[in-house]
Amino acid sequence: MKVLKTVGIFISIGISLVCNAQITKTNPVKITEKAPFEYVAEQFADIKVLRYQIPGWENLTLKEQKLVYYLTQAGYSGRDIAWDQHYMYNLKIRKALENIHQNYRGDKTTEDWKNFEIYLKRVWFASGIHHHYSNDKIKPDFSKDYFTTLMKATKTSLSPTITDVIFNDADAKKVNLDESKGLLQGSAINFYDKGITAKEVEDFYAKKTSPDSSKPYSFGLNSKLVRNSKGQLEEKIWKSGGMYGAAIDKIVYWLEKAKSVAENKKQGDALGLLVNYYKTGSLKTWDDYNIAWVQATDGNIDYINSFIEVYNDPLGYRGSYESIVQIKDFDMSAKMEVISKNAQWFEDNSPLFPEHKKKNVVGVSYKTVVVAGESGDSSPATPIGVNLPNADWIRAAHGSKSVSLGNILESYAKAGGKGRLQEFANDTDEIALAVKYAELGDKMHTALHEVIGHASGQINPGVGTPKETLKSYASTLEEGRADLVGLYYVYNPKLQEFGLVDDWKKLGMESYDSYIRNGLMTQLIRLQLGANVEEAHMRNRQWVSAWVFEKGKADNVIEKISRDGKTYFNITDYDKLHDLFGQLLREVQRIKSEGDYASGKALVENYGVKVDQKLHAEVLERNKQFVSAPYSGFINPVLVPKLDAKGKIISIEVQQPKSFAEQMLQYSKNYGYLPLVN
């Protein structure tokens, strides 16, 4: 599970290719230590592209640097898998757009050409033609006739059907969660053949059983479900020799090189199991790998690589490809380790029903890390915190790993502005709290969300997994549940007793202010007027905030204030709000523990989907004054190996790419391993 960065609170490469001693030449821009680091690379549409540094790189041994390099190469090698997963025509469209970009020799001063470039950058950022957050299809601000002219001028080939898709309303939503439109019929995600219904999928997997029912396999995680020539459903497994095999073979190549420089036996054994999983597609091996990976806690280098998060599947089965390579931040990890060491205290003192509490919270490890490279569904838009594995039974029996991406948070903080805070905060006291405590409050909420939130609670015996019981609502309910754990404990004197904060009350007050302000108001800047909330994290922030706002009306816990034609939310009683968060947490855990689909659906649909259109229009109007884009993502630093006369790596240098476009084009050139149709 991942935490994404959003407005006000955390919810949640141009690489030189070394193979057979050959290096692909690049022209990265070196940023010297003397010059101020340029965190903002560029901005377009609703996107701000940032850079991040890799502090402490020079302190790693050459062996450790090689491990990081090989792992990033493995991650980038699977990049096109995510593109194809997002939409069946993405790779063809990207090839056409990039060919035009590189070969057009006409007038590049026109508005049409500028809009073409912006459209291409938006598609690059989203890894496809659907917005990375809203899931809506990105509409070009140029005409089909102009696009046809560009194709003719550059001898670009794209079928009329696919050309039409760019401009029409077909496949308008990458992930549709509106059941009235059909969860699959209304989704453009490339996980299922057209025409397959949700009922058929449920029936297909209902027939599959695991050898041990207490250790259920993650059925559907690494495959596309298709209809064969006989009309029967079958899986196309993502593995070596199977679907996406060409890219997976490259991933395997680099993972095996990484295994050769592993820091210790446990880390090497885990990498070996991941390689075996990619070669066989065995879900049993996937479970074995996750157990081994969770237990490999020693060493300075770690990674995430495979088909993991299921947010992009409206039915919650199939994992999107992603990769994050990370280096331990020793100072911050030591400070935050106290949370994981006291996980049992948090569980014992939670407001959950006794039968839903874990009697023994196992092996929760928490680290602040420095990101060295991201790919797939983690790039360019990145999480800021991750907790894995996702299988509840593995988490219960073997524990989990939680990480906070420290240098990503640093870049957000250095590149961000405070204008929106002054506009939407209720008063000067709220602003003062945010200025002093927002950064630490965000870090604390992220840590509590990941380490305690996702690791807490247990499912009742005999109740199926959330994707089986809660279905399309499983993701937003899980993220909301973890958010509620963080909210319940971020306002608690125990944090000060643990030495994590100097004033728990003020930090907690700021966290509550920012969460409510964002959940009820400022996150709406990400939506077009008239739209419903679709993305799982946005939904959970709204249903959490809207529920406590409604339940606290009798005591006026949260005031809705209108002043000079502007709306503000003011918390009048933080203690009562804390109790309300606890009540909602208890109910959401009950829903998960009992598999109560009806209650889960009612909670999300009643509080998390519909938007107050009058307030939304007001928020959008107030936001017009700010030039900073509402969404941010990153280009990756470039790891450049230096070779000796025998072709062996003798050092690896960190450089920065010139631009977003340069990096995207180099990725397509260096890691375009898949055919255009898979």
CA-derived radius of gyration, the chain? 24
Angle of CA points 192, 195, 196, to nearest 5°: 50
Residue 21 has a pLDDT of: 34
Confidence of residue 9 (pLDDT cuts 50, 70, 90): very low
- Rounded to an integer, what distance in angstroms lies between the CA atom of residue 61 and that of residue 495? 36
- Asked if 522 contacts 619 with a C-beta cutoff of 8 angstroms, the reply is yes
| 270, containing H or E segment | helix 265-280
Stretch among 21-25, 51-55, 217-221, 224-228 having the lowest mean pLDDT: 21-25
Neighbours of 650 (CB within 10 A): 11
- Asked if 395 contacts 455 with a C-beta cutoff of 8 angstroms, the reply is yes
| Residue among 345, 448, 450, 321 at smallest CA distance from 395 | 450
pLDDT for 16 beyond 70: no
Percent of the chain exceeding pLDDT 90 equals 86
- Rounded to an integer, what distance in angstroms lies between the CA atom of residue 429 and that of residue 442? 18
Q: What is the DSSP string of 300-357?
A: SEEEEEEE---TT-TTS-PPPEEEEEEEE-HHHHHHHHHHHHTHHHHHHTSSS-GGGS
pLDDT for 399 beyond 70: yes
Percent of the chain exceeding pLDDT 70 equals 95
- Rounded to an integer, what distance in angstroms lies between the CA atom of residue 573 and that of residue 581? 13
Angle of CA points 386, 18, 14, to nearest 5°: 55
- Rounded to an integer, what distance in angstroms lies between the CA atom of residue 463 and that of residue 469? 8
pLDDT for 519 beyond 60: yes
Q: What is the mean pLDDT of the chain?
A: 93
- Rounded to an integer, what distance in angstroms lies between the CA atom of residue 316 and that of residue 177? 11
Confidence of residue 441 (pLDDT cuts 50, 70, 90): very high
3-state secondary structure of 621: helix
pLDDT for 331 beyond 90: no
pLDDT for 354 beyond 70: yes
3-state secondary structure of 31: coil
Q: What is the DSSP string of 74-95?
A: HHHHTHHHHHHHH-TTHHHHHH
- Rounded to an integer, what distance in angstroms lies between the CA atom of residue 289 and that of residue 397? 14
Buried residues in 568-586 as b, exposed as e (16+ CB within 10 A): bbbbeebebbbbbbbebbb
Residues in the chain, overall count: 678
- Asked if 515 contacts 490 with a C-beta cutoff of 8 angstroms, the reply is no
- Rounded to an integer, what distance in angstroms lies between the CA atom of residue 622 and that of residue 45? 18
What are the beta bridge partners of residue 303?
325
Confidence of residue 31 (pLDDT cuts 50, 70, 90): very low
- Rounded to an integer, what distance in angstroms lies between the CA atom of residue 5 and that of residue 218? 27
- Asked if 454 contacts 387 with a C-beta cutoff of 8 angstroms, the reply is yes
- Rounded to an integer, what distance in angstroms lies between the CA atom of residue 320 and that of residue 318? 7
pLDDT for 23 beyond 50: no
- Rounded to an integer, what distance in angstroms lies between the CA atom of residue 298 and that of residue 292? 12
| Residue among 2, 1, 4 at smallest CA distance from 523 | 4
| 480, containing H or E segment | helix 474-490
- Rounded to an integer, what distance in angstroms lies between the CA atom of residue 358 and that of residue 442? 26
| Residue among 4, 50, 8 at smallest CA distance from 441 | 8
Q: Can you give 103-172 as a three-state secondary structure string?
A: HCCCCCCCHHHHHHHHHHHHHHHHCCCECCCCCEECCCCCCHHHHHHHHHHHCCCCCHHHHHHHHCCCCC
| Residue among 266, 277, 373, 290 at smallest CA distance from 652 | 373
Stretch among 24-28, 112-116, 176-180 having the lowest mean pLDDT: 24-28
pLDDT for 163 beyond 50: yes
pLDDT for 240 beyond 60: yes
Stretch among 151-160, 326-335, 516-525 having the lowest mean pLDDT: 326-335
3-state secondary structure of 650: strand
- Asked if 343 contacts 364 with a C-beta cutoff of 8 angstroms, the reply is yes
Q: Which parts of 416-470 fold into alpha helices (H)?
A: 419-424, 428-447, 466-469
What would the two tokens of residue 313 be?
């599947």
| Greater model confidence, 276 or 10 | 276
- Asked if 333 contacts 308 with a C-beta cutoff of 8 angstroms, the reply is no
Average pLDDT over residues 578-604: 98
Stretch among 141-155, 270-284, 431-445 having the lowest mean pLDDT: 431-445
